[in-house]
Chain A
Amino acid sequence: MKDMADGYITEDGRKIGGVMMEMKNITLRFGGVVAIKDISFDIREGEIRAIIGPNGAGKSSMLNVISGFYHPQEGEVWFHGSKRPSMKPYQVAQQGIARTFQNIALFEGMTVLDNVMTGRLTHMKTNMLQQALWWGKAQAEETAQREKVEKIIDFLEIQHIRKTPVGRLPYGLKKRVELARALAAEPKLLLLDEPMAGMNVEEKEDMSRFILDVNDEFGTTIALIEHDMGVVMDLSDRVVVMDYGKKIGDGTPDEVRNNQDVIDAYLGVAHD
C-alpha cells in the first residue's frame, strides 16, 4: 500500500500525500571521509519520516544536505516536483523548511519570546525603508506576528518562561524552545535532529506528544533523527536506516525491524 503514488491512509486515519521531497543518489564527502554514499529516499506530504542508524552513520549530514548547510558532491534534491538548485541555508529556510540542531542552536542571549519571534522572520513582509518611515505599519505587523508566536508558545506549554533569557534554561526546555522557533516558521517540512537526546522519560513523552500533535493538527511533514527505537517505532510512518554512510533499510517500522541487514548493523548492537 505504501507505493500508491498519490498517497495513502495510515492505520490511525491520517492522510499521507504524494512525494514532497526526494533525495536522488546523494553522495557527500569530507576529504577522505564519505559521510553519505549514493543514498536515495523520499519524504511524503504529511508523514513522519525517521532516519536512524548508529553513531557516525551520516544521519545529521543527510539533514544538513536537506537544509542546505552541506552541499553534496553528487546527487540531486527534488522539492515539490522540481529539482532544487544549490542553495544557501537561509534560502532553504525561506522555502518553508525549518530545522532544529543536534547540539541545540538557540540565541542564548535573547528571551524565549524573542527566539521564537525570529522564527517568523521569513513571514515578515515590510522592508527596512517601510520600517523606518512607517513605524505604525511595522508595529502592526509585529503585533500580528506576535499573536501567532503566542499560540505556539501556548501549544508547547512554555508560557511561564516567555521572558526568560534562553541561556538560563535547563537542557530539556531549550530543546522545546528550539522546536517552538522552528514551528513559528509554519514550515511545510520540519527537520528534527535528535529532538529527545539527553532527555528523561517524562520529557521524552512530552516531546513525542508534541511531535505527533504538530503533525496531526498542522499537517506538518516531519523528518526526524532519533536513537531511541521505542520512540521511532511509535512515532514514524516510515524509516530510513543508515550505516557507514550507506542506506541499509527503508520501510515501515515493522518492515525495518524485520530486515536482517538492519538487525545485524544496528538493532542487534543496540539491544544485546
Chain B
Amino acid sequence: MTDQFLFGVEVVLNGLMAGVLYALVALGFVLIFKASGIFNYAQGVMALFAALTLVGIMEGQVPFAHLINAIFGTEIHHFGWHVPALAAILLTMVLMVFFAWAVNHFVMRHLVNQEPIILFMATIGLAYFLEGVGDLMWGSEIKKLDVGLPQGASFWIEENTAFLGSENFFGFFIDQLDIVATLVAAVLVVALVAFAQYTKQGRAMRAVADDHQAALSVGISLNFIWVLVWSLAGFVALVAGIMWGAKSGVQFSLSLIALKALPVLMLGGFTSIPGAIVGGLIIGVGEKLFEFTIGPMIGGATENWFAYVLALLFLVFRPQGLFGEKIIERV
C-alpha cells in the first residue's frame, strides 16, 4: 500500500472520530426538537455550562465567589477540597436535571402553543442567560479539565500499523482521547436508543414526539416529558462538554460547537436520531478529507466552512434530510 493511501485512511479515521462528537451535539438538538418542536439554540451553552460546573465542582471552587466577595467583602474562592471525577460528574448531572426543570417551569411551559419562532427566541435568551450565570458562578478564565481520560497518540496503534507502509510511514496517528470519546459516544447513543425503544418513559417520549393530544389521552404528562428530554439533552451536553473540554480546555468557544451541529442537522434532519449520527460522521470525515485533498490547493483552513457548503448543497437536493420522508404538499 502506498503511504499516500495510508495517510488518507488516517484522515478518515480522525474524521470519523471528530464526527462522533458532532453527532453527539446534534443529538442534543434532536431530542428536544422531536419532543417539543423547539430548536434549542442554548444546546452549545449547555455543554459549556456543564463543563464549567464539572470543573468547578472537581476543583472545589466556591460558586458565585466574585458575587459573594463583592457583597460581603470576603476573600473566599475555594472550599479547599477536591471532588473525585465520578462524583463530580454525578453532581453535575443532578444540576442539569434541575436546570431542565427550571427551564420548563419558568419558561417553556408558559410558551405552550406559541409560534416556533417565539420558542426559538426564548432559547436564544436562555443561551445568553446561561452563559452569564456560568460566568458569574465559576468565573471566565480558561480552565483545564482533567477527568483522567488518556491523552496523546496511541503508541500501540502506531507501532502495530507502521508495517503497512514504507519506512516513511510511522503508523496511524490517533489520539487516545478521540478513541475514548468515540467509545463513550457510542455507548451513550446505544443507551439513549435502548431507553427510547424499550422503557416506559422512552415510549412516552416517542408518543409525545408523535402526537401531543394522543399522548395526553393515554395519561402522559407533557411537562414531565419536557423535563425529561431537557435533562437528557443536558446529559448529552455534559458528555460533549467533557470531551471537548478535555481536548481544548473549558472556555467560551466551547459553546460554539453548537454551530458545528447545525450542518449536521441540515444533513441528517432535525428529528432523526440515526440522521444525527450518520450526518455527524459524514461531516466529520468530509471536512477532514476535503482539507487533506483539496485544502492545500486553495490555501487550507477549509474546515471552517466546508461543513456548511456540504449541508447547503445537500439541502438543495434533499431538503428533508438523509432520513426524513419527502414532504408532498396536499392540494
Contact = CB atoms under 8 A, between A and B. Distances in A.
A107 B216 contact: no
A181 B210 CA distance: 15
A131 B198 CA distance: 10
A67 B218 contact: no
B203 interface: yes
Q: Say whether chain B's binding surface is mostly helix, strand, loop, or mixed.
A: helix
B203 A114 contact: yes
B308 to A, nearest CB: 30
A110 B207 contact: yes
B193 to A, nearest CB: 14
Contacts of B206: 107, 109-110, 114
Interface residues of B, number: 20
Interface in A71-111: 88-91, 93-94, 98-99, 101, 105-110
Contacts of A131: 199-201
Contacts of A117: 203
Given A94-B219, A119-B218, A105 B213 contact: yes
B217 A99 contact: yes
A93 B203 contact: no
Q: Give the bracket for the number of chain A residues in contact with chain B.
A: 20 to 34
A185 to B, nearest CB: 7
B329 interface: no
Contacts of A109: 206, 210
A88 B217 CA distance: 10
B54 interface: no
Contact of A126 (B200, B215, B217): B200
Given A106-B211, A118-B207, A98 B201 contact: no
B219 A185 contact: yes
25 contacts: A69-B216, A90-B216, A90-B219, A90-B222, A93-B216, A93-B219, A98-B218, A101-B214, A101-B217, A110-B210, A114-B203, A114-B206, A118-B203, A118-B215, A118-B218, A118-B220, A121-B200, A121-B203, A121-B204, A122-B218, A122-B219, A124-B200, A138-B200, A139-B198, A182-B217
